């Protein structure tokens, strides 16, 4: 059985730090996929490194659903969102076995799965739940850090395609391997 390591919540502030922004600009990563009024989902949102920029880009008419396994990460995200004046974020603490996002089935325009899939115990189920949440032609941006091997990343891309997605782009993202998919 494969061992999955979950990033400890105590590292949450580091994941949302200006130092990380110097390596990966969250606005640059998600801007091509978001516009005002969209509904987006950040899977493994942590303390909101991408969530808050996503909420800014979709604007007050849009909404971002931030999903994380750790209540401490979600609590940190909520504090950061309040400080940033972003009230268009819905948070969800999920379970290890499920994202618990059924209420958004077919209603999400864009999902972000950034540096998370390698931590998930059942990748196929997670991808399936994301696919269910996406609207027709909804997009998924999937990225893993370079510490995830090229072969493991390729296997994940294959799994995503087998789960009902079409690969549409391979964006260049610093210190990451990335792919964009559209829901079939």
Please indicate, yes or no, whether the overall pTM of this predicted structure exceeds 0.85. yes
Domain boundary assignment for the chain:
9-183
Task: Please report where in the chains the tokens 């504090």 appear, as a residue.
Answer: 79
pLDDT, residue 1, reads: 33
Question: What are the average pLDDT values for consecutive 10-residue runs of the chain, which has 184 residues?
Answer: 47 54 85 98 94 97 96 93 96 94 97 94 96 97 95 98 98 96 96
**pLDDT tens digit sequence for 147-169:** 999 999 999 999 999 999 999 99
Fold topology of 9-183: Rossmann fold (3.40.50)
Of 169, 163, 154, 156, the C-alpha closest to 183 is: 163
Query: What CA–CA distance (Å, rounded) separates 134 from 144?
Result: 20
Order across the sheet with 108-114: list the strands: 89-93, 63-68, 39-43, 108-114, 134-145, 176-183, 165-169
pLDDT, residue 84, reads: 94
Residue 90: exposure state from Cβ atoms within 10 A (0-12, 13-18, ≥19)? middle
Residue 39: exposure state from Cβ atoms within 10 A (0-12, 13-18, ≥19)? buried
Q: How far does Cα 45 stand from its chain's mean position?
A: 6
**pLDDT tens digit sequence for 61-87:** 999 999 999 999 999 999 999 999 999
């Amino acid at each position: 059985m494969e061992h999955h390591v979950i990033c400890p919540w105590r590292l949450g502030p580091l994941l949302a730090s200006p130092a990380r922004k110097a390596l990966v600009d969250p606005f640059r990563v998600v801007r091509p996929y978001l516009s005002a009024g969209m509904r987006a989902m950040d899977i493994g949102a942590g303390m909101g490194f991408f969530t808050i920029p996503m909420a800014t880009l979709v604007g007050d008419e849009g909404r971002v659903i931030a999903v994380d396994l750790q209540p401490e990460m979600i609590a940190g995200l909520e504090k950061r969102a309040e400080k940033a004046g972003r009230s268009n974020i819905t948070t969800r603490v999920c379970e290890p076995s499920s994202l618990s996002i059924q209420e958004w089935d077919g209603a999400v325009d864009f999902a972000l799965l950034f540096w998370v899939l390698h931590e998930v115990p059942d990748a196929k189920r997670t991808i399936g739940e994301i696919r269910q949440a996406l609207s027709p032609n909804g997009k998924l941006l999937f990225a893993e850090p370079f510490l995830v091997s090229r072969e493991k990343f390729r296997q994940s891309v294959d799994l995503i395609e087998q789960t009902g997605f079409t690969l549409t782009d391979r964006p260049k993202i610093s210190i990451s391997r990335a792919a964009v998919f559209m829901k079939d």
